[in-house]
């Protein structure tokens, strides 16, 4: 019996969260799972800082807690977002708590960051505290078996005051039985047992598309008996399942009426065939036939329900699987028996024998002896097995006390079953043969979970380099990682001296750890906990000094590439290697880098660890029971009895006995060889028969599949015949359309040929017409060429005559005078143009002067605001100056205009004189009296004109009103250039 002080509570306090994004229409809930039992907080609002303020607790005893700590069983918390409208649950992230951190002393809560966080932009955290508390409740009240929800059932008249919902299973640890119903109604004891005897055609449950584990898969049957998860011994062959029949029994305290109501509520026992965490198929054994209404059969003999039950794959309707014939259906032989405790043993033996014969008849093979399991609850490590109720010796089916005790110990040393498949727990208990029961019960066992993997993790601290400290250090490296199974620190030895700009390789820096754990637990631990490598300075004169710490993130090796290799026994293994350099950060003061560490880590996965129990025994192993002993040599005779004959001497007898012993050993060796040969031949024959049965089973399976395919092919053939008829009709229609298309094509081809013929005839006619036109054009060309030649000859003759006439005309004096008159006329026109430009320049000057006046008026207006009096005085002065300037300007303008008129008049007079002189000169030339003084006078007139133009331009420029870009200045410049050009030409 478990004392109160050994009963504990694992309390997880979920306080509050932070850094959650606001989602007004959603709720937050945290679900915690430990040891197959799941608890949840109340939904709270999805705000940025939700407050859960909830404590979740699991009941456990100290022995089970120690076992969970050895196996590093985690507590997994998952956070979900709930939509109240659609009831949809969305995963946000999860947190994994280490059970080893829970202590009985109160500890402050910590903030844990969500892993696989859905809100990647937020650093979402939850404040969680974990502690151990002593359970003050009675242990009987704290344990209840897993009961199915109550169904509609009628309570007998004798139990009229009892509600069917109150008929539940409660484990009584002290008494070692399960109680069904209230204590005042429970007066009788019963034994309920379930036997799984055989299984056939299990390969039908494996679809062709399903992938089994790469290593040799293990299959087992699972069922739940009054809340106790039961599995049989695993087997590897589905075609010929070879496992020993096992019987699981529970002791019940109840009454016949309550049992009848309970079996009506729990009407079926569900049995699953499992592989790892998958359910391959299940069947339901009806329990209503055990206790019939009004029957008293259970008072005389055990009542049973047995037979071969068909296993159905999960979700057959969803997978759309074809029905399997009855002769090929996968079946399992099950027997469920219920007896009153204290029935005569002989009737029990007869019943068991009858059941075995019936099951053997359905299986058509001989069963091996049945193993016995006595179940007293999933969490009752110290409950004694059911005591025998009769003094008769146990039969072959009855378990001995030592076997039951060893089985009970096996059950207690295993962790609680985990869920596999669709809410199907898988037990890890394995039966122990009766011959080894006492030995197993007396030794200490170490259980390894079946889902754990065998890992080997090696760390190689290769070298340190890039020292940043100014002085040499004498260093060692030190680290520890309790997750690998050892809390002892690992250190390099001996100390090495490191200086600047040198790389030093570390001695004795390689270490490998072999351990077993769950892959997800390994990944979570590597992500959460880095490996801290400490750098210590060793000095003989002072104590050791911690210089710095390097953080190695072990999760990096999980993301590296996997390589495959074969293990020692030929199994497939995986290896991952990762190398890098990390800095040592100063342990004290500023976080400066001291030096770099180069390391290599390797993770090797050797696959699943089979469920086994390692026996640690204090006694040494004895020798083999069967040993060959050579015959002892008879004692030597006395000297007085020595015979003189050689055959009677001791040497001869010893040699003879030795030869006889050799012959006997040879005979024994030959007999052993023959026995081995016979055993090998029998094994080969059995293997051959086994393979024949496998092939036969596979052929049957294939025949069934081919029958289904044949039906599908028949249906397909009917569809093909219909399609063929449709194709024939379509083909005839295509033939008709093809004929029509052919006729249409021929008609179009004939029309095309007629069109081509007509086009050819038109082309020939057009070509003939073009040829006639071409001949006519050739004739016209020749005729026109002749006319062109004649015209050219006439043109040449006329040109000669014109030249002669021109020469004659140029020699006449009238022509020369006319040319001079034309030149003078041109000069006159030029002078008039210059006069007009001067007038325009004058107008432009006046316009510029008006603009200047306007500008001055604007300037005066601006200055008037600041200095009115001064501006008035300036205005009067400016006005006087303007009047004088205008008068002077007007006087200059009049004078200039008069001068220009005089110049024009003089120029006209000069031109008249020049005309007269030219006329006279022409007459003198005609008379031969012309001389050169007139040319000199002309040159002198050009010089005066040029001087006057330059003076006029300079005068205008000195006024400051004009610049070189003004029109009048540009015109003066042009005239000056023309005069210069004429002067140069005359020179």
Provide the 8-state DSSP code for 768: H
Mean pLDDT computed over every residue of the chain: 76
Confidence of residue 79 (pLDDT cuts 50, 70, 90): very high
CA distance 253 to 535: 66
Residue whose C-alpha is closest to residue 534's, from 480, 461, 478: 478
Tell me what percent of the residues of the chain surpass a pLDDT of 90. Answer: 22
Helix or strand run (H / E) with residue 298: helix 297-300
Taking residues 584-611, what's their average pLDDT? 84
- Give burial (CB, 10 Å; 0-12/13-18/19+) of 198: buried
Q: In this predicted model, which residue has the larger pLDDT, 516 or 635? A: 516
pLDDT tens for 168-187 read 888 887 778 888 888 877 88
Digit-coded pLDDT (tens) for 727-754: 999 999 999 999 999 999 999 999 999 9
Position with higher pLDDT, 367 vs 372: 372
Tens digits of residue pLDDT in 209-256? 565 555 567 888 999 888 888 888 888 877 778 787 888 888 898 888
CB 498 within 8 A of CB 595: yes
Least confident piece of the model among 304-308, 327-331, 435-439: 435-439
Rg (CA), the chain: 63
Q: Which of 102, 122, 124, 121 is nearest to 111 (CA)?
A: 124
Average pLDDT over residues 926-949: 61
Paired tokens of 408: 């009970």
pLDDT attached to residue 645: 63
In Å, how far are 25, 519, 608 from 613, measured between CA atoms?
52, 21, 15
Q: Rounded to whole angstroms, how far apart are CA atoms 424 and 418?
A: 8
pLDDT value of residue 785: 93
pLDDT score, position 725 = 92
- Distance, CA of 865 to CA of 781 (rounded, Å): 94
pLDDT for the residue 736:
92
Show the 3-state SS of 848-879: HHHHHHHHHHHHHHHHHHHCHHHHHHHHHHHH
**How many Å from the N-terminal Cα to the C-terminal Cα in the chain?**
150
* Lowest mean pLDDT, pick from 8-22, 152-166, 464-478: 152-166
What's residue 374's pLDDT?
60
Which range, of 43-47, 763-767, 821-825, averages the lowest pLDDT? 821-825
pLDDT band (50, 70, 90) for residue 811: confident
Tokens in use for 289? 């036939």
pLDDT tens digits, one per residue of 539-583: 877 788 888 999 999 999 999 998 988 877 778 898 999 999 999
SS3 content of the chain, % helix, strand, coil (to 5): 45, 25, 30
Q: Does 908 score more than 80 pLDDT? A: no
Please state the rounded mean pLDDT for residues 668-696. 87
Assess whether pLDDT exceeds 60 at residue 921. Answer: no
The answer to whether residue 671 scores a pLDDT higher than 60 is yes
| Residue scoring higher pLDDT (231 or 393) | 231
The answer to whether the CB of 72 falls within 8 A of the CB of 100 is: yes
- Each residue's pLDDT tens digit, 339-363: 888 764 444 444 444 554 444 444 4
Where is mean pLDDT largest: 300-304, 575-579, 586-590, 857-861? 575-579
Report the C-alpha gap between 678 and 684 in whole angstroms.
Answer: 10
pTM value? 0.32
- Residue 857 in tokens: 């008026």
Q: Which residues of 433-464 are buried (b: 16+ CB within 10 A; e: fewer)?
A: ebeebeebbebebebbbbbbbbbebebbbbeb
* pLDDT higher than 50, residue 774: yes
Q: Is the pLDDT of residue 435 over 60?
A: no
Q: What does the pLDDT look like over 938-986, one tens digit per residue?
A: 556 777 888 888 888 888 888 777 788 888 888 888 888 888 888 887 7
CB 271 within 8 A of CB 223: yes
Q: Is the pLDDT of residue 516 over 90?
A: no
Per the model's pLDDT, the better-predicted residue between 431 and 37 turns out to be 37
């Amino acid at each position: 019996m478990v004392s109160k002080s050994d009963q504990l509570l694992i309390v997880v306090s979920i306080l509050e969260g932070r850094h959650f994004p606001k989602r007004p229409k959603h709720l937050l809930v945290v679900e915690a799972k430990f040891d197959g039992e799941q608890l949840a907080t109340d939904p709270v609002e999805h705000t940025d800082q939700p407050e859960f303020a909830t404590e979740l607790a699991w009941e456990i005893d100290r022995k089970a807690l120690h076992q969970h700590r050895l196996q590093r069983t985690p507590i997994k918390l998952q956070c979900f977002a709930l939509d109240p409208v659609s009831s949809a649950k969305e995963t946000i992230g999860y947190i994994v708590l280490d059970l080893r951190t829970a202590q009985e002393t109160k500890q402050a809560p910590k903030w844990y960051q969500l892993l696989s966080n859905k809100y990647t932009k937020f650093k979402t955290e939850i404040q969680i505290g974990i502690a151990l508390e002593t359970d003050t409740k009675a242990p009987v009240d704290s344990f209840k078996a897993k009961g199915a929800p109550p169904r509609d059932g009628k309570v007998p008249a004798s139990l009229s005051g009892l509600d069917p919902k109150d008929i539940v299973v409660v484990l009584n640890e002290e008494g070692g039985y399960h109680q069904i119903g209230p204590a005042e109604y429970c007066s009788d004891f019963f034994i309920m047992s379930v036997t799984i005897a055989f299984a056939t055609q299990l390969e039908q449950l494996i679809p062709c598309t399903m992938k089994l584990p790469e290593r040799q898969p293990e299959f087992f049957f699972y069922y739940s008996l009054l809340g106790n998860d039961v599995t049989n011994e695993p087997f590897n062959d589905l075609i010929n399942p070879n496992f020993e029949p096992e019987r699981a029994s529970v002791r019940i305290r109840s009454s016949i009426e309550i049992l009848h109501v309970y079996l009506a509520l729990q009407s079926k026992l569900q049995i699953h065939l499992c592989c790892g965490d998958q359910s391959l198929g299940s069947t339901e054994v009806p329990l209503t036939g055990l206790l019939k209404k009004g029957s008293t059969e259970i008072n005389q003999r055990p009542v049973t329900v047995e037979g071969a039950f068909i296993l159905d794959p999960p979700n057959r309707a969803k997978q759309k699987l074809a029905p399997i014939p009855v002769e090929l259906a996968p079946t399992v032989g099950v027997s469920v028996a219920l007896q009153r405790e204290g029935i005569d043993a002989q009737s029990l033996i007869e019943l068991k024998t009858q059941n075995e014969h019936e099951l053997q008849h359905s299986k058509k093979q001989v069963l091996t002896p049945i193993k016995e399991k006595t179940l007293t609850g999933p969490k009752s490590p110290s409950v004694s097995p059911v005591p025998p109720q009769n003094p008769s010796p146990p039969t072959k089916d009855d378990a001995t006390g030592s076997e039951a005790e060893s089985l009970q110990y096996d059950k207690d040393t295993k962790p609680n079953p985990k869920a596999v498949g669709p809410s199907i727990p898988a037990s890890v208990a394995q039966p122990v043969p009766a011959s080894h029961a006492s030995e197993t019960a007396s030794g200490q066992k170490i259980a390894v979970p079946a889902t754990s993997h065998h890992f080997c993790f090696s760390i190689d601290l290769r070298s340190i380099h890039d020292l940043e400290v100014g002085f040499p250090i004498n260093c060692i490296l030190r680290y520890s990682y309790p997750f690998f199974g050892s809390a002892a620190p690992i250190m390099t030895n001996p100390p090495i001296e490191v200086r600047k700009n040198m790389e030093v390789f570390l001695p004795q820096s390689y270490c490998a750890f072999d351990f077993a754990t769950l892959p997800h637990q390994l990944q979570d631990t590597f992500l959460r906990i880095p490996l801290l490598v400490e750098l210590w300075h060793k000095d003989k004169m002072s104590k050791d000094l911690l210089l710095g710490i390097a953080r190695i993130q072990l999760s990096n090796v999980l993301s590296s590439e996997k390589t495959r290799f074969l293990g020692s026994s030929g199994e497939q293994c995986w290896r991952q290697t990762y190398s890098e350099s990390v800095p040592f950060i100063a342990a004290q003061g500023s976080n400066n880098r001291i030096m770099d560490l180069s390391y290599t880590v390797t993770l090797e996965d050797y696959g699943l660890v089979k469920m086994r129990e390692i026996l640690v025994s204090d006694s040494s192993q004895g020798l083999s029971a069967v040993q060959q002993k050579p015959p002892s040599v008879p004692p030597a005779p006395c000297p007085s009895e020595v015979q003189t004959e050689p055959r009677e001497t001791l040497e001869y007898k010893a040699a003879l006995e030795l030869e006889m012993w050799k012959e006997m050993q040879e005979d024994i060796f030959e007999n052993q060889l023959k026995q081995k040969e016979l055993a090998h031949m029998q094994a080969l024959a059995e293997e051959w028969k086994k393979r024949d049965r496998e092939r036969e089973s596979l052929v049957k399976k294939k025949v069934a599949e081919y029958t289904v395919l044949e039906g599908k092919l028949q249906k397909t053939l009917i569809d093909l015949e219909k399609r063929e008829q449709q194709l024939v009709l379509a083909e005839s229609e295509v033939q008709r359309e093809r004929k029509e298309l052919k006729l249409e094509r021929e008609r179009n081809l004939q029309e095309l040929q007629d069109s081509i013929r007509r086009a050819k005839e038109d082309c020939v006619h057009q070509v003939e017409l073009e040829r006639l036109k071409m001949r006519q054009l050739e004739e016209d060309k020749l005729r026109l060429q002749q006319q062109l030649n004649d015209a050219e000859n006439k043109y040449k003759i006329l040109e000669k005559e014109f030249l002669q006439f021109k020469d004659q005309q140029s020699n006449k004096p009238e022509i020369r005078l006319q040319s001079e008159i034309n030149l003078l006329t041109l000069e006159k026109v030029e002078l008039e143009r210059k006069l007009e430009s001067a007038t325009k320049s004058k107008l432009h000057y006046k316009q510029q002067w008006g603009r200047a006046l306007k500008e001055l008026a604007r300037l005066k207006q601006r200055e008037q605001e600041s200095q009115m009096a001064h501006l008035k005085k300036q205005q009067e002065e400016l006005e006087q100056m303007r009047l004088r300037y205008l008068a002077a300007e007007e006087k200059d303008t009049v004078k200039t205009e008069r001068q220009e008129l005089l110049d024009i008049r003089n120029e006209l007079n000069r031109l008249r004189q020049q005309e007269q002189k030219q006329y006279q000169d022409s007459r003198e030339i005609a008379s031969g009296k012309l001389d050169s003084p007139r040319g000199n006078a002309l040159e002198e007139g050009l010089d005066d004109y040029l001087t006057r133009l330059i003076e006029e331009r300079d005068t205008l420029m000195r006024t400051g009103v004009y610049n070189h870009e003004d029109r009048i200045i540009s015109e003066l410049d042009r005239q000056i250039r023309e005069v210069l050009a004429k002067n140069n030409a005359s020179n």
